[in-house]
Each structure stands twice: as C-alpha cells, then as structure tokens.
Amino acid sequence: MGSLDRQGFEIVLNVFSPQEIDSVAESISLSSISRSRAGMRHALQVAAVRSLAESGPLLKLAAQALVHGAFPFRATLFDKSAQSNWLVVWHQDTALPLKQRREVAGWGPWSVKAETICAHAPASALEQVLAVRVHLDDSNAENGVLKILPGTHLSGVLSDDGIHELAARTPAVECCVPAGGVLLMRPLVVHASSKTRSATPRRVVHIEYASRTCLDGGLELAVDNLSRI
C-alpha cells in the first residue's frame, strides 16, 4: 500500500478471472435498475456487484488501506463507449451519501442525487474512504482511461483554482488497467478522463468503502444495501 499512501492510487492486476468479470458484466446487463447513458448509480443493488464488492480480494485490499476494517457503501457503473462518450475535467470526489441532513461545520454544500442526500465532506472524513475501480474491460489511452495527478490527495480539499494550478504543474499518470484488474484510489487525489477515441468500451465498477458509518457531528453514512437482481 506504499504507492496508495504516497501517490493516492495503486493498480493491482489479475484480481478477477475473465469468467468472473464476464459473469458480473452479464448480470449488470440483465439488471432492471434504471440506467443513464453514462452508466448506473446504486449498482450495489445488483446482486453480482454486491458479491463482487464483498468478495475476499476486494475486502482485503480495502481493509489494508483503511486499517480499521472496511465495508462497501456505494457503487457506480461507468460505461463509456463511442455511443456514450464524455469528458471529465480535473476534480476530487468530495460528496458523500448521508442518511439525513444536519448542519455540521465543514460539511456542504448539500444536494440530492438519485434520491440520496449528499454533502461535500471535509478532508478528515474523505481520508477514511477508499474507491476501488474494478475494470470489466481493458482501459487504455484510447478509450478514456482515468488520469491522476500523483500525490495531490495530500493537499486536502482544494478549490477549483487550486485544482487548476496543480493540473498545470503536475505531470499526469494514465492508469491503464486490463480487465480483471483494479485501481485503488483515494477520493482526494485529483483525477480526470478524456473522451474515448476507440470503438472498444470502457466499463468500470467504481466501489466505495469506509471503515465506519458514524461521521462528524452525528452525521451517518448512507449505505446502499438493497439487493434487487
């Protein structure tokens, strides 16, 4: 986990077999959960995705990173292709899903996304979260690979201007990951992705883990735990 601590990300190859990846992809394609052109929110409600998130390999990786144990609380499918293509500018992932709104210093602004209350969280809470991106397809420089500015997770929550300044002077790393591999990522590391220039899809299951549900000031993390299909 040295790279994760120093650079804010780490790539682990061959975590899942082609058969396991194909099974998850098929289950997602058959799911009745609503989707947008970009993918699917609430992906933990797909039984195969929940099984993936709770599998031994991923729980072990997450627990090592978070130290005090780990559980998945949210998952999103990103499905980028020539037919569904988008650009993501440099940013940090700072919004967390919460059970209820409570005015607590350092939290906010607030919003509602897919019927879930969310708030932008302070660095102290985001440092207790890990994202694990499971690649269902090979991710490469041609199909909208995730790009990261190494070490930027150590700078706390940044303003838009701060992110722009870092992007101007920090060499980016393209996180090319083959199908079956995973990318571990700290939410505060600055990242982006380009539009795909390939006919090959880039499907990623982005799973977020935490070590506890109780947060600052009585706030409680909302855990997406209803399995539908």
Residue 123 in any domain: the answer is no
Residue 121 in any domain: the answer is no
Residue 109 in any domain: the answer is no
Residue 99 in any domain: the answer is no
Beta bridge partners of 39: 36, 78
Nearest to 83 by CA among 174, 11, 130, 144: 144
Positive or negative torsion for Cα 178, 153, 51, 118: negative
Quote the number of domains for the chain: 1
Residue 103 burial (C-beta neighbours within 10 Å; 0-12, 13-18, 19+): exposed
Nearest to 208 by CA among 58, 91, 56, 79: 58
Residue 207 in any domain: the answer is yes
Residue 180 in any domain: the answer is yes
Distances, alpha carbon 64 to alpha carbons 15, 26, 72, in Å:
15, 30, 14
Q: Could you tell me if 146 and 189 are in contact, meaning their C-beta atoms sit under 8 angstroms apart?
A: no
Angle at the Cα of 63 from the Cα atoms of 171 and 226, rounded to 5 degrees: 100
CATH of the domain at 183: 2.60.120.620
Residue 113 in any domain: the answer is no
pLDDT in tens, the chain (229 residues): 689 999 999 999 999 999 999 999 999 999 988 888 788 999 999 999 999 999 999 999 999 999 888 999 999 999 998 888 888 999 999 999 999 999 999 999 999 988 899 999 999 999 999 999 999 999 999 999 999 999 999 999 999 999 999 999 999 999 999 999 999 999 999 999 999 998 889 999 999 999 999 998 999 999 997 655 5
- Asked whether the whole model's pTM tops 0.85, one would answer yes
- Structural domain including 33 reads 2-93+129-212
Q: What is the DSSP letter of 121?
A: P
Residue 149 in any domain: the answer is yes
